[in-house]
């Protein structure tokens, strides 16, 4: 009986490129995917928030000045300090002469020299008003100096895998060694939204009044599209007009980056065009659940005769609309396993393709411990493995 069960199981699992259970999908009329919009800018990218898939891009890895989009990383560092308990929203920050001066000639929240301002108010000054003075004040308070704070920003960039990003100042002023890319900025936005959703909501605030001065969020999309809830504008003469935006429609969230546009209006229109393109022509599907058994492999010398393999996390993919049924998933697996093995051990690979193009590759893991059988069963299986290995 043991041998018969093994043979039956082997019939269902090939040595390589085994078919994975294909999720059922409703029938839809195929339609060609139109090309993504392109603009006369330095670079753009459109990314799905959940999966990180790039839906459209134009020179996404070309280095460019991020201008005040830099403040997203500055805020990320502040959020990290709040999460670690090393900072509090009601903590008071003394505004230095240096912080006040750094606000002159640029965007600022008009904090007075020598005044005490709460961390929360300064964060709103950074996020809504893009205040250079607020950014430098937080940097000095947290790290002792802006230079040390910039070191924290670069350390976070390295931790997040932003390999084409380097900062030399906190507010985003021009500098030869102050640069990023559209791809890195989108990755930073994904991390910020995922790690600090409680603070991300502040990026949808359209106005903030401090020191009796009302200022408005420069992100024009907040007033044009109710689904847009962030994130940050940027502008210097050398960087041009930049916009990092995000919108959520239904369960889908997209992130768009436009760097080096010609005007405030053009960066808003271009960002809106990218977001509309993504929501209109793409859709998200959950292909497999976390720890769903995608195959049962024969197990030799084990307490059971077979063991399941699957994914550690659910697999979601964004695909062009009406293309779901053309997805193909295959597994690369061994013909059998030999106990003992531990849950979570990598056994093989899952690959998902669309029309022959790779969309995703994931490790296939053992879903349970595979303990050794007794001496007699191990000896019996060792005998039959002679024949199996010669097959």
CATH number assigned to the domain comprising residue 324 = 2.60.410.10
Catalytic residue among 68, 107, 180, 271: 68
Q: What is the pLDDT of residue 388?
A: 66
Q: What is the band of 377 on the pLDDT scale with cuts at 50, 70, 90?
A: low
In a domain, 37, yes or no: no
Please check the confidence at residue 249 and state whether its pLDDT lies above 80: yes
Domain containing 246 equals: 43-284
Number of domains in the chain: 2
**Overall size of the chain counted in residues:** 391
**Domain shared by 87 and 168, yes or no:** yes
pLDDT, mean of residues 114-133: 97
**Domain shared by 188 and 272, yes or no:** yes
In a domain, 109, yes or no: yes
- Percent of all residues in the chain with a pLDDT value above 70, rounded to a whole number: 88
- Does the annotation count 263 as an active-site position? no
Residue with tokens 């210097």: 236
Domain boundary among 284, 303, 336: 284
**Domain shared by 311 and 208, yes or no:** no
**Domain holding 84: CATH number?**
3.40.710.10
**Domain shared by 141 and 221, yes or no:** yes
Q: What is the band of 10 on the pLDDT scale with cuts at 50, 70, 90?
A: very low
**Domain shared by 196 and 133, yes or no:** yes
pLDDT, mean of residues 23-48: 81
**Domain shared by 273 and 300, yes or no:** no
**Domain shared by 211 and 343, yes or no:** no
- Does the annotation count 68 as an active-site position? yes
Better pLDDT: 39 or 16: 39
Q: In the 3-class helix/strand/coil scheme, how is 151-215 assigned residue by residue?
A: HHHHHHHHHCCCCCCECCCCCCCCCCCCEECHHHHHHHHHHHHHHCHHHHHHHHCCEEEECCEEE
8 Å CB contact between 130 and 107: yes
Catalytic residue among 42, 71, 232, 301: 71
Q: What is the DSSP string of 255-292?
A: EEEEEEESSHHHHHHHHHHHHHHHHHHEEEEEEE-TT-
Segment 334-375, tens digit of pLDDT: 998 888 999 999 999 999 999 999 999 999 999 999 877 777
pTM of the model: 0.87
d(CA 320, CA 309): 29
pLDDT, mean of residues 310-319: 96
- Does the annotation count 71 as an active-site position? yes
In a domain, 35, yes or no: no
Partners of residue 244 on adjacent β-strands: 232, 257
Q: What is the pLDDT of residue 309?
A: 97
Q: What is the band of 381 on the pLDDT scale with cuts at 50, 70, 90?
A: low
d(CA 233, CA 297): 53
Q: What is the pLDDT of residue 375?
A: 72
Question: Which residues have CB under 8 Å from 376's CB, separation 6+?
Answer: none
**Domain shared by 214 and 362, yes or no:** no
pLDDT, mean of residues 162-186: 97
Rg (CA), the chain: 27
Q: Which two tokens stand for residue 199?
A: 């603070």
Name the average pLDDT for the chain. Answer: 90
**Domain shared by 267 and 329, yes or no:** no
Q: What is the band of 390 on the pLDDT scale with cuts at 50, 70, 90?
A: low
Segment 38-74, tens digit of pLDDT: 999 999 999 999 999 999 999 999 999 999 999 999 9
pLDDT, mean of residues 169-192: 97
Distances (CA, A) of 144 to 7, 28, 85, 111, 371: 69, 59, 17, 19, 55
Q: What is the band of 274 on the pLDDT scale with cuts at 50, 70, 90?
A: very high
Q: What is the pLDDT of residue 6?
A: 29
Please check the confidence at residue 19 and state whether its pLDDT lies above 80: no
Q: What is the pLDDT of residue 138?
A: 98
8 Å CB contact between 116 and 122: no
Q: What is the pLDDT of residue 391?
A: 52
**Domain shared by 278 and 359, yes or no:** no
In a domain, 34, yes or no: no
**Domain shared by 54 and 145, yes or no:** yes
In a domain, 30, yes or no: no
Domain boundary among 227, 257, 284: 284
* 353 φψ region: left (φ > 0), alpha (ψ -120 to 50), beta (else): beta
In a domain, 170, yes or no: yes
**Domain shared by 276 and 329, yes or no:** no
Catalytic residue among 18, 43, 107, 130: 130
In a domain, 29, yes or no: no
Q: Which two tokens stand for residue 99?
A: 């912080």
Q: What is the band of 9 on the pLDDT scale with cuts at 50, 70, 90?
A: very low
In a domain, 28, yes or no: no
């Amino acid at each position: 009986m043991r041998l018969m069960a093994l043979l039956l199981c082997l019939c269902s699992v090939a040595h390589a490129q085994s078919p994975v259970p294909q999720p059922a999908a409703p029938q839809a009329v195929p339609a060609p995917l139109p090309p993504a919009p392109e603009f006369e800018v330095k670079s753009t990218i459109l990314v799905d928030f959940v999966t990180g898939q790039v839906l459209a891009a134009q020179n996404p890895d070309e280095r460019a000045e991020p201008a005040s989009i830099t403040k997203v990383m500055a805020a990320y560092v502040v959020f990290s300090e709040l999460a670690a308990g090393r900072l509090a929203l009601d903590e008071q920050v003394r505004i230095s002469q240096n912080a006040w001066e750094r606000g002159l000639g640029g965007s600022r929240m008009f904090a007075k020299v020598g005044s005490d301002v709460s961390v929360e108010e300064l964060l709103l000054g950074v996020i809504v008003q893009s205040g250079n003075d607020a950014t430098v004040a937080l940097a000095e308070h947290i790290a002792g100096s802006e230079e040390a704070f910039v070191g924290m920003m670069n350390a976070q960039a390295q931790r997040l895998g932003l390999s084409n990003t380097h900062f030399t100042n906190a507010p985003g002023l021009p500098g030869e060694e102050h640069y990023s890319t559209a791809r890195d900025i989108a990755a930073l936005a994904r991390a910020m939204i995922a790690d600090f959703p409680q603070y991300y909501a502040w990026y949808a605030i359209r106005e903030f009044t401090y020191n009796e001065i009302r200022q408005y969020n420069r992100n024009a999309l907040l007033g044009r599209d109710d689904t847009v809830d962030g994130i940050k504008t940027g502008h210097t003469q050398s960087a041009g007009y930049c916009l990092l935006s995000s919108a959520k429609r239904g369960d889908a969230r997209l992130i768009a980056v436009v760097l080096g546009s010609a005007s405030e209006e053009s960066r808003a229109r271009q960002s809106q065009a990218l977001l509309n393109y993504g929501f209109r022509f793409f859709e998200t599907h959950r292909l497999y659940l976390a720890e769903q058994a995608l195959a049962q492999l024969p197990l030799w010398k084990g307490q059971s005769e077979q063991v399941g393999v699957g994914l550690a996390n659910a697999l979601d993919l964004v695909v062009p609309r009406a293309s779901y049924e053309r997805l193909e998933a295959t597994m690369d697996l061994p013909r059998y396993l030999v106990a003992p093995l531990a849950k979570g051990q990598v056994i093989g690979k899952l690959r998902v393709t669309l029309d022959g193009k790779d969309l995703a590759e994931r490790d296939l893991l053992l879903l349970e411990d595979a303990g050794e059988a007794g001496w007699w069963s191990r000896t019996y299986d060792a005998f039959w493995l002679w024949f199996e290995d010669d097959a």
